Structure 1
């Protein structure tokens, strides 16, 4: 039976959407694994840079307020001959220095001629004594600064390479073996070294 003006009745139950079929749901495209790896790598680099910047700023020594007597620091000469001073662990492998004394003046009298003095970029100066390891070799420059070197290395220019034959804690006048010379520092804590020509690979 037909009804005038109307087509045949629809088959099946009426649509709950007012006579219109539901729209197909949009499918979410999966993120490729390589993109996740790239995001993790980028995030790791950002975190590493942030940690390095924070550590670098935190350890920088610009004035005598940034360090105390007895602390250890590392000293590096920049390309423009300026000195960069950073707080460091006294037990690190690279050469470090003990802070023997501090001064608000850019130049002051150190406890002795064997001490190194550095003027800080912000304010004051430091007198330093070397923190050397027994058996290791170092190059001594014209400014008496110590630099880590292989015992088989050749000294540059007028520099000298020495090996620490003995280190004595609490004694600034060590009994050194033949062929070596004694160097002692009373501040910030007594320590003595026997410096000799390199004899080979450090122990």
Structure 2
């Protein structure tokens, strides 16, 4: 005769998994080529601009998203320039607008995902979506870096501007596309290279 128990088996208690806090992705460091020896005068200018832009990298909260998507341009700046890791203002702009400081390069699925590896990106929390913003640059324009770390379009007669002397789509071999006397600023998404020089009249 079977001795197997016929007592009902209670199902195991369901364990609720607590939501884990996601860590803020660290800012991506810019990979830059060493300037040729004859271009040493240019390097301090480029380095100074990039250093300011990279200060305070992280995930920021923004307002006024207005349905911004990949490829769109925005005006983005911290509400308090002394607190770049705090809340930011964001508004959609035409990419040709001088107020358009950034372009949306990518939208991440999770805050744990990093922005593209190569380039200068700001990871921002825009209404729950994590967006990677890149500087809105255009060939032939001159820029300076503001207190908020963004490239700002200026007249090329402005003191010590950085000029985008050439823009190339794709990511060709390093050191093969920019004119002598300029430095490469490379972005992996969207794949592009900006050749940064100093305006001849500055």
CA RMSD of aligned residues (A): 3.1
Task: Tell me the equivalent position of 2:201.
Answer: 200
Rounded Cα–Cα distance in structure 2 between residues aligned with 1:139 and 1:108: 30
Secondary structure, aligned partner of 2:114: coil
Cα distance per residue 1:26-84 (max 9 Å; x no partner): xxxxxxxxxxxxxxxxxxxxxxxxxxxxxxxxx9218xxx3322222221232354421
Cα distance per residue 1:125-160 (max 9 Å; x no partner): 3112223122211123687531223333346xxxxx
Offset of 1:166 from its aligned partner? 0.9
Contact 2:93 2:100 in 1 (8 A): no
Structure 1 residue corresponding to 2:106, chosen from 101, 104, 116: 101
Q: Could you list the runs of 5+ residues in structure 2 that have no partner in the other structure?
A: 1-62
Task: Tell me the equivalent position of 2:93.
Answer: 88
Determine if the alignment matches structure 1 residue 167 to structure 2 residue 167.
yes
Alignment of 1:1-203 (within 5 A): 60-61=64-65, 66-79=67-80, 81=83, 82-103=87-108, 105=110, 108-120=113-125, 122-140=127-145, 145-154=150-159, 161-168=161-168, 170-173=169-172, 175-188=177-190, 190-200=191-201
Choose between structure 1 and 2: higher helix proportion.
Answer: 1
Choose between structure 1 and 2: higher strand proportion.
Answer: 2
TM-score by length of 2: 0.53
TM-score by length of 1: 0.53
Alignment coverage as a number of residue pairs: 133
**CA 1:152/1:193 → structure 2, altered by over 3 Å: closer, same or farther?**
same
Contact 1:167 1:193 in 2 (8 A): yes
Contact 1:106 1:123 in 2 (8 A): no
Cα distance per residue 1:152-198 (max 9 Å; x no partner): 3346xxxxx41111122x2334611111011222323x332110122
Cα distance per residue 1:91-117 (max 9 Å; x no partner): 324444221212365564110252322
Offset of 1:88 from its aligned partner? 1.6
Structure with greater contact order relative to length (CA < 8 Å, sep ≥ 6): 2
**CA 1:96/1:164 → structure 2, altered by over 3 Å: closer, same or farther?**
same
Work out which of the two has the higher radius of gyration on C-alpha atoms and give 1 or 2.
Answer: 1
